[in-house]
Structure 1
Amino acid sequence: MTKQLSQASMGSPMNVLGGSETSFYVANSIVESAIQKYESGEREQALKSLATALKTQRLTLGDNDLVVAHTLGNIGAVYLSLGWLDDAQQVLEECINIKSRIRADPTNVLPKGCSHVPMFDTLNNLGSTCFLKGDYYNAMSYYQDCLKEVTTGDIAGTTEQIADTLYNIGHVHVVLDEFEDALIALNESLQLTKDTYGHEDARVAEVLEKIGAVHLEQSQFDDALTAFVEALRVSKVSLGSTHEDSAISLYNVGLVYERKHETRRAMESYRAALEIFKINGIENESVERVRERMMHLKI
C-alpha cells in the first residue's frame, strides 16, 4: 500500500493540460474556456471545446503549426485523464511529431510570445499513457526523454519537474524488477524534493514510501523500516497524526515488522492504522488489507 505523488504518481503518472502559453493561440478564448472546464472537473466538456478550437486552428493555420500541436497535446491530456488511452496515445504522438518537425527546422518562425518548442508535457503524458497500457519499456523511453528535456534542453526545467521525472523513472524500474536502478532514481528524486519543498513536506513522505517499498521487496527490512518510519514522521508533521497518509505509513511499518516476525509490533501498527481510518470514516480496499493482515497474525 503506497501513496502517489500528486504531480507524478506511481500508478497513474501526471497528465498535464497546458495553459500558460495560450496568449498566442488562434481560438484562444475557446482554449481558455476548455482549460477552466478541465480544472473544474468538466473533462468531457473541455474535450468538446478543445475539438472546436482544433478545427478552427487547422483551418486557419494548417496541420503543422505549433498552435495546433499544443491543442492536440491538451486533447491528449484530457483523453489520458478520462482513461481513453488509445485515443490519448494517438493524438499525443501526432502532437510530438509536429513539435519535432518544427524544432528540427530552424527556419520555422514560432508564434508571438513563444520562445521555444515545449516538449516536456507531451513526453510526460506519452510516458503516462504507455505506463497505464502496460508498455513499460516505451514508458521508460518517454520518461528518459523528459529527463533529457529538462536537464539538457534549451530551456532548463524546474527542480520539481526533474524530481517528478526521476520518480516516474524509478517507478518504471520497480515494475521491471530493476530495483537498484529504481533506488538510484528515487533517492535522487527524494533529495530534489527536499530541496524544493523542505524536509517535512508530504511529497517527501510519498517518495520515502516508495523507497521503503523497494527495500521491502528486496527483503532489506532495516532499510525499509527506516524509510517507512521517516515517512510516518513526515506525514504526521505535514498532515497531522490522524491523516489517512499516516495510516498508510503505519500499515507499511506493520508489514516490515510482520516480515521480521515481530508479531506484537506488527499488530500494534495495524491497529493504529485501522484506528486512523476509522477516525476519518474510511471504509475501502486499504482498510480491508489492514484487516486481512491482522487476521493473518491471529491465525
Structure 2
Amino acid sequence: MKNGKVAFIGTGVMGASIVKHLLQAEYEVAVYTRTKVKAEPLVEAGAVWAETVGEVVTGADLIFTMVGYPTDVEEVYFGEGGIFANGKAGQVVIDMTTSSPALAKQIAEQAAMLKMASIDAPVSGGDVGAKNGTLSIMCGGEEQVFDKILPVLSVFGKQIVYQGVAGAGQHTKMCNQIAIATNMIGVCEALAYAEHAGLEAETVLASISSGAAGSWSLSNLAPRMLQGDFEPGFYVKHFFKDINIALREAEAMQLALPGLQLARDMYDKLVLQGYSDKGTQALYKSYS
C-alpha cells in the first residue's frame, strides 16, 4: 500500500492533520468535504480536491471516512451518490468516525457483497494526537484486511490494535469514551476544588498529573481549562453523540452505567447553553 492512492472524506479538526501526514508520507490523496474552504490548505499542500463523493472514490485504493454523526456515515456510504454506489471491487473502506457498532457491521456486510473490504477504525487522541501522528486506532473487521492497511494507519497512529470482527473497533471506542466521560468530571472537580481552596491550580497540576491521578485529560485539557481555552480538540456535540451511543449499547446489554449517565446530563446542559462547538474541556464551565 506504500504510495497508494487514498481518498479521504471529512477534513475536520482531526481529519485535516491525518491527511497532512499521508501527504508527507508521499501518498497520493484526494479529499472531499462538504465545506470546500476547509480543504483549501490541504489542496495547497498537495491533495487533490474532488467535487463529489463519487469523484473522490474513483481510482482510490483506500477510502477513509471521518465525518460527524452516524447519519452522515449512512449518507456517505449508502446514499445515492455515496461510496457503495461508486466504489469497485478490491477497494478498502475505513470508517474513522465514532459511530454505532451496528452500522459498522452493516457497512462490512455491504462491502463484502460488493467484493470490497471494510475496517471500522475510530481513533482517540484528539487534535494533539492527530497533529503529532500518535493517535490510538481501534480496529474491527477481517484481520487480514487490517494487516494489509496497517502500514498506512502507522503513518498517523501510534497505538494501533486489532480488536476483532466488524463493530469491535466501535465497541472499543465506546469503552474509551466511557472512561473519558467520568474522568473529565474528576479533572474539572479537582481544579475547582484547588481554586476554592486558594491553591495555585497550575502548581497543583504539576503534582497530581504525574501521580496516580494522572490522565491524558489532566495533562492536555486541564491546562486549557485554566487558560480559558475552550476551543475544540474534540467537539462537545460529537462527545455528546458518543455518550448517547454508548448508553444505548449499554441499555441493549442490560448494563447500568450511572457515571456515564451523569456525564450525559452534564454535557446535555452544555449543549443547551450553546457550547456544542467548543471542546470537551468546556465542562469546566459547569463549575464556574
TM-score by length of 1: 0.33
Larger Cα Rg: Structure 1 or Structure 2?
1
TM-score, structure 2 as length reference: 0.33
More strand by share: 2
